[in-house]
Chain A
Amino acid sequence: MATPAEQHIYNKELFESPIFQATYKKMFGRRQSIAGKVKRILLIEDDVDMSEVIQLRLKKMYSCRVDIASDPFEAMNKMVEGYYDLIILDWNLPVLNGEETLLRADQAMAYEPGLPIEWDKNEVPVVVFSSTAQEDCKLRKTKHFNYVGHISKAQPLNKILTTIADFIQRKTGGFRAV
């Protein structure tokens, strides 16, 4: 059994090999960053009612792309496929909670050779979106993620959307209203 250090060396050699890189580029050539064009939001939410209505309204009100991940593992896959300007994170997810999801994603990214370069340059602002009280949603700072606030689910949708838009304005440089 390889030690973690040996495992790391093994992965590094594998990832940096020309064959691996060529195959990877061929398979995942679409993983080009589109940051700077349209704001991209990742909504990690297992409540399909909430995710559908927020996606619909944000897309209708603002020029942004909203991707939905309904569980932590789908979220991790989406994060390594593309960079996001803002992550909206439900706290009570299946299997892992919000903090565990980000910690696991942070670790997985260290071994992802095709990770969009923006992930190395910026910390993505994360807003916790939950009906769990703010004091019970504690996020540690990680290399790739920066907790910037909490939005309660238990409020009218227009207030939720206004608060999300406010976070985008303040934390990502804003977006154009449609």
Chain B
Amino acid sequence: MSFSNQVPHEMKVVYIQRRLSDFAECSKAIATGDYSFLEKVGHQVKGNAESFGFDALSPIGIALETAAKEKNIEEIKKAVHDFGTAVANIQKTEL
């Protein structure tokens, strides 16, 4: 069974919509210093992006989780920026 048959298209669309919501929440979390939220988002994206066929998001999730654990605000900002760009790109080109 091919991978594209495993995840229905509508579930991929919902997945990306949730990531856009995550991106907005991450921006707020940076402002409030909510590192645990940022770490959670990074951890989940690290774990689930490849399952949905969005492999490009996995390394960004890893970077965000690591930066949030270290409370490295510059790296967090970079990872969140990359995350937003990558999600917007997927929405434009793949869905």
Which residues of A line the B interface, CB within 8 A? 47-50, 52-53, 56-57, 92, 130-131, 153-158, 160-161
Contacts and interface: CB of A to CB of B under 8 A. Distances in A.
Contacts of B51: 50, 53, 153-157, 160
Contact of B47 (A50, A56, A158, A161): A50
Given A53-B52, A158-B3, A153 B47 contact: yes
Contact of B6 (A48, A57, A130): A57
A57 B11 CA distance: 11
Q: Main SS of the interface on chain B?
A: helix
Interface residues of B, number: 21
B3 A131 contact: no
B47 A156 contact: no
A131 B1 contact: no
A158 B46 CA distance: 17
A48 B47 CA distance: 12
Given A52-B11, A157-B6, A47 B53 contact: no
A158 B8 contact: no
Contacts of A92: 40, 43
A56 B53 contact: no
B81 interface: no
A53 B7 contact: yes
A53 B43 contact: no
B48 interface: yes
Given A49-B15, A49-B18, A158-B3, A153 B48 contact: yes
Contacts of B15: 49
B3 A157 contact: yes
Contacts of B8: 56
A158 B6 CA distance: 6
Nearest to A160: B51
